[in-house]
Chain A
Amino acid sequence: SQTIHQWPATLVQPVGSPLSLECTVEGTSNPNLYWYRQAAGRGLQLLFYSVGIGQISSEVPQNLSASRPQDRQFILSSKKLLLSDSGFYLCAWKPPDRANQPQHFGDGTRLSIL
Chain B
Amino acid sequence: AQSVTQPDIHITVSEGASLELRCNYSYGATPYLFWYVQSPGQGLQLLLKYFSGDTLVQGIKGFEAEFKRSQSSFNLRKPSVHWSDAAEYFCAVGAVNGNKLVFGAGTILRVKS
Do B99 and A32 touch across chains, with their CB atoms under 8 A apart?
yes
Least CB distance from A85 to B in Å reads 18
Do B105 and A104 touch across chains, with their CB atoms under 8 A apart?
no
How many residues on chain B are close to A (CB under 8 Å)? 24
Instruction: Answer yes or no: B97 CB below 8 A from chain A CBs.
Output: yes
In terms of DSSP, what is the predominant structure of the interface of chain A?
strand
Which residues of B in the span 83-113 have a Cβ within 8 Å of any Cβ on A?
A: 90, 94-101, 103-106
How big is the A interface, by class? 20 to 34
Do A99 and B49 touch across chains, with their CB atoms under 8 A apart?
no
Q: Choose among B42, B96, B103 the residue that contacts A44 (Cβ–Cβ < 8 A).
A: B103
Chain A residue nearest in CB terms to B49? A102
List, in ascending order, chain B residues with CB within 8 A of A105's CB.
36, 43-45
Least CB distance from A60 to B in Å reads 13
Which residues of A in the span 18-60 have a Cβ within 8 Å of any Cβ on B?
A: 32, 34, 42-44, 46, 49, 51
Which residues of B in the span 24-41 have a Cβ within 8 Å of any Cβ on A?
A: 32, 34, 36, 41
Chain B residue nearest in CB terms to A107? B43
**Bound complex: CA A108 to CA B96 (Å):** 27
Counting residue pairs across A and B whose Cβ atoms lie within 8 Å, the total is 50
Do B101 and A107 touch across chains, with their CB atoms under 8 A apart?
no
With A43-B90, A43-B104, A99-B97 given, is the CB distance from A108 to B41 under 8 Å?
A: yes
Which residues of A are in contact with B by a Cβ distance under 8 Å?
Answer: 6, 32, 34, 42-44, 46, 49, 51, 88, 90, 92, 94, 99-100, 102-108, 110
Which residues of B are in contact with A by a Cβ distance under 8 Å?
Answer: 32, 34, 36, 41-46, 49, 51, 90, 94-101, 103-106
* Inter-chain pairs besides A99-B98, A103-B101, 5 sampled, C-beta below 8 Å: A6-B43, A44-B90, A99-B96, A100-B94, A105-B43
